[in-house]
Amino acid sequence: MSSESIVEAVRQLQICDACRYCEGYCAVFPALHRKRAFADGDITQIANLCHNCRGCYYACQFTEPHEFNLNLPGILARVRQESWQDLTAPSGLARLFHSHGTALAATVVIAFATMIWAAKAIGSTGGEGFYAVLSHNAMVAIFLPAFVMPLVLMAVGLRNYWRRVGGIPIRVTDLTWAFSQAATMRNLSGGHGDGCNFEDEDRFSHTRRNAHHATMYGFLLCFTSTSVATIMHYAFDMPAPYPLFSLPKILGLVGGVLLCLGTLVLVMLKLNSSRDLGDARVWGGEMAFVVLLFVVSASGLVLYAGGDSAWLTELLAFHLGAVLAFFLLTPFSKMAHGFYRLAALTREAQLRR
């Protein structure tokens, strides 16, 4: 049985399909116009193609106070959110994060930071730098399961998504097209190329697209920094700490700055935007996710700057607590949207053949 959100999305999409005024705005509308009738999987796929740029809402002649009362960005946001929650296990934790995200994230960060701070006495082996606080083996024992478990949960959710939307075996060309769309964030440029009007209906801007770019590439650079350091440690017997002009440090510093700037701009945009054009029920959870990303990057930069201070133990404990919270909450936070959107773009590539 279809949910209320699916039923309402079908009603609005059928009107959009008849109108076709927004045909060139983003990937949603070519996908929409291929259909005359919509199954639940079709609605889930279309919802996850939507980047919530809101251009179609401000261009629409059938929004409130018209009797059709269309709000396509809002209803697709609800469907998208419900799909992530339903497809993720355990779904109850996803609902909890999006209804009480700030409190949950803060509690997890503080709990893990306290645990790591307390573990100093048993984890340190007198190493250099951060390893003087917590040994390398202790860090691996803590963070390896925290990294692998969310990936497993995400893989299960994506498998469920792929089945729901009727996905078929993936070709390399499907992934190439999907990654190119994600890398350029083309669907945030607006149908006219002037950007979207996420925060102001009369002002088109690439600000949101640029902020997403900074956030995404900042995160990828930080992840690459950690990966390079791991390879240097195990493959070349070059353990940390590393000097400033080493590859891990350069990648991490540039990535951390980009991540801080991107998340700060996203917070400001979100504060200035209309909640009614997204899923207002989970506004707090979405904001908590962005703030948590900022805390991870900012605490990492502060830790680097204060690495020789008397507060090293506390700074390291807080940063590692934030990182650990981020990893463990990834399948249940809005971080999941990147994975599902990439899956949706891959499916769209198949349907465009």
Please answer whether residues 124 and 132 qualify as being in contact, where contact means their C-beta atoms are separated by less than 8 angstroms.
yes
What tokens were used for 28? 């949603």
Q: Which of 45-49, 56-60, 108-112 has the lowest mean pLDDT?
A: 108-112
Q: What is the pLDDT of residue 321?
A: 86
CA distance 57 to 45: 19
Q: Confidence band (pLDDT; 50, 70, 90) for 100?
A: confident
Question: What pLDDT is recorded for position 133?
Answer: 67
**Which tokens hold the place of 75?**
């209803």
- Please report, in angstroms and rounded to a whole number, the separation of the first and last CA atoms in the chain: 31
Residues of the chain above pLDDT 70, percent: 91
In the prediction, which pLDDT does 58 show? 87
Higher-confidence residue of 240 and 322: namely: 322
Within 8 A by CB and 6+ apart from 122, the residues are none
Q: How confident is the model at residue 254 (pLDDT cuts 50, 70, 90)?
A: very high
CB-based burial, 277-288: b 16+ in 10 Å, e otherwise: bbbeebebbbbb
What are the domain boundaries of the chain?
A: 4-84, 89-351
- What pLDDT digit, counting tens, does each position of 267-287 carry? 999 998 889 999 988 888 889
Confidence of residue 316 (pLDDT cuts 50, 70, 90): confident
125 — pLDDT class (breaks 50, 70, 90) = low
For the beta carbon of residue 52, count every other beta carbon within 10 angstroms: 21
How does residue 126 score in pLDDT terms, banded at 50, 70 and 90?
Answer: low
pLDDT at 334: 85
What number is the average pLDDT over the span 193-219?
84
**Span 290-308, pLDDT tens digits:** 999 999 999 999 988 876 6
Residue range 155-179: average pLDDT?
95
CB count within 10 Å of CB 190 equals 22
Q: Is 326 left (phi over 0), alpha (psi -120 to 50) or beta?
A: alpha
CA triple 129-132-133, angle to 5 deg: 105
Confidence of residue 35 (pLDDT cuts 50, 70, 90): confident
For residues 53 and 213, is the Cβ–Cβ distance under 8 A?
no
CATH number belonging to domain 89-351: 1.20.950
Q: Does residue 193 carry a pLDDT above 70?
A: no
Both tokens of 325, joined, read 């919270």
Q: What is d(CA 51, CA 157) in angstroms, rounded to the nearest whole number?
A: 20
Mean pLDDT score across all residues of the chain:
86
**Per-residue DSSP letters for 153-219?**
HHHHHHHHHHHHTT--PPPHHHHHHHHHHHHHTGGGS-TTSS-B-SS-TT--BSHHHHHHHHHHHHH
Q: What would the mean pLDDT of 170-188 be, rounded to a whole number?
A: 92
148 contacts 316 by C-beta, under 8 angstroms:
no
> Per-residue pLDDT for 119 more than 70?
no
- Cα angle 299, 301, 302 (rounded to 5 degrees) comes to 60
Question: What pLDDT sits at residue 115?
Answer: 74
Cα of 125 vs its chain's centroid, Å: 36
In percent, how much of the chain has pLDDT > 90?
45
